[in-house]
Structure 1
């Protein structure tokens, strides 16, 4: 092979290696971007949890509580017709909360229901375990439901951040509204 062909071959190899590194960098940057999104969601969830004064429960932990027949009240904070009516966690009760953070009670945002309506659904036992969920981690309906349960004086309030999507993803049973 003459010198010119060797130089062209060497240039082609260098170009191919350089393109592979660029493509690898693109793949890596995608991984980094996804990790940054995960981090942002985690920090948002942590801040909401601290601000709300409630605890968190994983989907697996919630399933174990339900299976063990523990005395808990599960609240589905999603829209009734579009979500809860079609499918929800077994035994869950419905109470609509809005997506935007609810700093003051607004009955227009809760389907016309009042704080007293929510307290009636939660019941008189302020020490019972209450678990609130919505659709998925970034949804703040469950945050609003948990915050307002705490504001109403309930002491053992948990938020299931994975919500309905995590429950379905785990292939756990659901039920429909009757």
Structure 2
């Protein structure tokens, strides 16, 4: 009986040791880990996604460098393994100084999957430079995402999405008073990770919305912790920005403070004359809903079934006879279901040359049975 219990305990300990991902994973485990049979031209020492997951965590572990060998703008910037640096294989010699000075440090190279040779080529180059602890994650980024892991984006890519007016939500996971209020990425909302459950209603109702979480750089885990919570809530397009606010401030200067953020949001014009972008519309509703008037120009029956909080109803067929009923003192944003009737409402205001600052939401507005809505580009 004593031998049976000892054997059972030993088996449990072995299982725990081998199944728990983390920076304590060993090179011996890595050598036995590859999930795909070797191919001609591949680097000999390979690891799988479970091994990589032990190192692709925040705060970034010491003693390991994960290298993305893919092109920057087309691949790395749009999505990469968290904490990975970018050394495109075609620029390896130019960017080799990004590798650690310690030639014994663990290096993990990856690229775009089993048909991609860039990571293997870079691994051989690093070996010729004298690095002694090199691994290749041959299945690469596609496998990383397929396993359900979080992807990361670069700060320049995030800024490009913002500059393009893309319908995204940026979340600052740092403490509000100590960090966010002293400077944050423009347009970001504050949901400190410690208050995530309490403030999660600040997240968009559309679970397919692009969410980008950031905090205080590679030494901070708050953003990844919050991102995981968002995934558990059912959000399907969640990424982290590991370099976070420190990199934003380095590249683009300090962001707005809490006091500056409280100022009136700017209405960003859309592609159609008189339209407002989805991103601008949602940002205003989230941060300063009292700075605009919402007018739902759908039929009364549709309005009573569901509308956007704070809206009044003036059906488009009744608008010309109800111009005196339009709210005053703030910009008006007309909306409907597809942007057609709201566009007609805007055109009528312009035709009548009314002294009203008006816009229309050129988007598909879809309501669910609970009255929640999501916006989609036309």
Q: TM-score, normalised by structure 2?
A: 0.31
Kept after mapping to 1: 8 A contact 2:230/2:238: yes
Task: Please name the residue that 1:23 is paired with.
Answer: none
1:115 counterpart residue number: 197
Distance (Å, rounded) in 2 between the aligned partners of 1:82 and 1:170: 22
Partner of 2:162: 66
Deviation at 1:52, TM superposition (A): 6.6
Q: Could you say what secondary structure the match of 2:258 adopts? A: coil
Distance 2:101 2:210 in 1: 38
SS at match of 1:80: coil
Q: Is the 8 A contact 1:54 1:150 kept in 2?
A: no
* Greater relative contact order structure (CA < 8 Å, 6+ sep): 1
C-alpha displacement at 1:170, in angstroms? Answer: 1.0
Match of 2:211 among 130, 138, 144: 130
Deviation at 1:55, TM superposition (A): 1.7
2:242 is aligned, of 157, 161, 176, to 161
Task: Tell me how far 1:171 sits from its aligned partner.
Answer: 2.4
The answer as to 2:101 corresponding to 1:31 is yes
In structure 1, list runs of 5 or more residues that go unmatched.
1-29, 41-45, 98-109
Does 1:76 pair with 2:172?
yes
Equivalent of residue 149 in structure 2, options 23, 44, 53 = 53
Separation in structure 1 between the aligned mates of residue 177 and residue 162 of structure 2, nearest angstrom: 24
SS at match of 1:82: coil
State how far apart, in whole Å, the 1-side matches of 2:232 and 2:198 are: 12
Whether the 8 Å contact between 2:185 and 2:255 is mirrored in structure 1 is yes
Contact 2:208 2:236 in 1 (8 A): yes
Q: Distance in 1 between matches of 2:254 and 2:167?
A: 19
Choose 1 or 2 for highest CA Rg. Answer: 2
- The 1-side partners of 2:197 and 2:149 are apart by 18
Tell me the secondary structure at the aligned position of residue 73 of structure 1: strand
Query: 178, 182, 190: which is aligned to 1:86?
Result: 182
CA distance in 1, matches of 2:162, 2:210: 12
**Cα distance, 1:143 vs. partner?**
0.5
Q: What is the rounded CA distance, in whole Å, between the counterparts of 1:114 and 1:131 in structure 2?
A: 15
Report the 3-state secondary structure (helix = DSSP H, G, I; strand = E; otherwise coil) of the residue aligned with 1:169.
Answer: helix
How far off its partner does 1:173 sit? 5.5
CA distance in 2, matches of 1:124, 1:149: 12
Q: Deviations over 1:82-116 (max 9, x none)?
A: 1100100000011112xxxxxxxxxxxx1xx3626
In the TM superposition, what is the alpha-carbon distance from 1:117 to its structure 2 partner? 2.8
The Cα shift of 1:144 comes to 0.6
Indicate conservation of the 8 Å contact 2:183/2:254, yes or no: no
* More strand, by proportion: 2
Aligned length: 127
From 132, 143, 148, the equivalent of 2:229 is 148
Q: Over aligned residues, Cα RMSD in angstroms?
A: 2.8
Structure 2 unaligned regions, length at least 5:
1-99, 109-140, 260-378
- State the secondary structure of the residue aligned to 1:132: strand
Higher helix share: 1
